A and B are shown apart, each in its own frame.
Chain A
Amino acid sequence: MAEVSQDSGGGHKKGGGKPKGKKHSTHIDMTPMVDLAFLLLTFFMLATSMNKPKTMEIVMPDDKVKPKDQTELAKDRAMTLLLGPSDKLFYYYGLPKKGEAPQLERTDYSPDGLRKILQERRTWLRNDASLKVEDRELFCIIKPTGKSKYKNLVNIFDEMNIGHIKFYAVVDITPSEEDAVYQNK
Chain B
Amino acid sequence: MPKIKLPRKSPRLDMTPMVDLAFLLVTFFMLTTKFKADEPVVVDTPPSISNLDAPDDSFIVVTVSPKGQVFLNTDNKKRRLELISAIDEAKGLKLTDKEKNAFAVISTFGVPFDKLKWFLGLEPEQRSKYVQPGIPTDTTTNPSNELSTWVHTARQHFIEDKLVVKGDRESDYEAFHKVVKTFTNNNAHRFNLVTNMKRDE
Contacts and interface: CB of A to CB of B under 8 A. Distances in A.
Contacts of B36: 49
A150 B171 contact: yes
Interface string A58-80: 11111100000000000000000
B173 A149 contact: yes
Interface residues of A, number: 47
Interface in B41-76: 45-55, 64
A111 B198 CA distance: 14
A129 interface: no
B171 A158 contact: no
A176 B197 CA distance: 36
B129 to A, nearest CB: 24
Interface residues of B, number: 54
Interface stretch (B18-26, B77-85, B87-95, B106-114): B18-26
B169 A37 contact: no
A18 B62 CA distance: 73
Interface in A109-130: 111
Interface string B9-24: 0001111101100110
B135 interface: no
B174 interface: yes
Contacts of B164: 55
Contacts of B46: 150-151, 154-155
B184 A45 contact: no
A55 B196 CA distance: 8
A34 B12 CA distance: 14
B184 A60 contact: yes
A153 interface: yes
A28 B197 CA distance: 48
A146 to B, nearest CB: 4
A57 B191 CA distance: 6
> Which residue, A37, A154, A170, has most C-beta atoms of chain B within 10 A?
A154
Contacts of A83: 173
Contact of A146 (B25, B32, B174): B174
B145 to A, nearest CB: 15
A20 interface: no
Given A57-B190, A147-B173, A1 B49 contact: no
Interface in B143-172: 164, 167-172
A51 interface: yes
User: Which 7 residue pairs across A and B have the least CB separation, nearest first?
Assistant: A44-B29, A151-B169, A151-B46, A56-B50, A146-B174, A55-B192, A37-B22
Interface of B: 12-16, 18-19, 22-23, 25-26, 29-30, 32-33, 35-36, 45-55, 64, 164, 167-177, 180, 183-184, 189-197, 201
Interface of A: 1-2, 27, 30, 33-34, 37-38, 40-41, 44-45, 47-49, 51-63, 83, 111, 144-155, 157-158, 161-162, 170
24 contacts: A1-B15, A2-B15, A2-B16, A27-B12, A30-B19, A34-B22, A37-B26, A40-B30, A41-B25, A41-B26, A44-B30, A44-B33, A45-B25, A54-B48, A55-B193, A56-B48, A60-B189, A60-B190, A111-B201, A146-B177, A147-B173, A149-B173, A150-B170, A151-B170
Given A41-B26, A63-B184, A153-B173, 11 more contacts: A1-B13, A37-B26, A38-B22, A41-B29, A53-B54, A56-B50, A57-B192, A60-B190, A149-B169, A150-B172, A162-B49
